[in-house]
Amino acid sequence: MKKESTFAVILGVLMGAVVALVLIFQNKQIQLEKNKTIAPKTTITPSVALNNTNIQSFVILSPGEGVIVDTNSISIEGKAPNDALIVIQSPAKETILKSKKDQFKATFPLAYGENVINITFYPKDPQLRSQEKRIRVYYLDNQL
């Protein structure tokens, strides 16, 4: 009776292991089918799309670099996209304005001698970068 009992126990353990393995593999297969696929089945080719094909850059029309004037103020004119924020800075003064109709114009005071003027453009469109231009204007007396 011991041989038959041992044989029955071994056979029961083997049959239980086989059934358990079949259930585990089927359960994994069912779980994989229920889950959503992570990667798309079609191949995707990356491409760059430009929303603004008519991008206008920031340009200073006047004054030019190294201009010598005999007045204590100067008119700064330029082109920038509509509703852009323009910051004009020098040791003498700081001015902030918005461009209208793709242009801007500001009267800016000058200190006697060399004036280094930084003009920074901040676009309304967050996809565009800000730009900075630096010009040097010299205010000297006419009698020199």
- The confidence score (pLDDT) of residue 14 equals 93
The full set of domain ranges for the chain reads 59-139
CATH class name, domain 59-139: mainly beta
CB proximity list for 131: less than 8 A, separation 6 or greater: 57, 58, 120, 121
CB proximity list for 87: less than 8 A, separation 6 or greater: 94, 95, 96, 118, 119, 120, 122
50-59, 77-86, 109-118: lowest mean pLDDT where?
50-59
131-139, strands of its sheet edge to edge: 67-69, 131-139, 113-122, 85-89, 94-98
For the whole model, what pTM was predicted?
0.57
Gyration radius of the chain over CA positions: 38
> What are the structure tokens assigned to 9, written together?
């126990």
Token look-up 């292991």 returns 17
- The confidence score (pLDDT) of residue 70 equals 87
Band of pLDDT at residue 39, cut at 50, 70 and 90: low
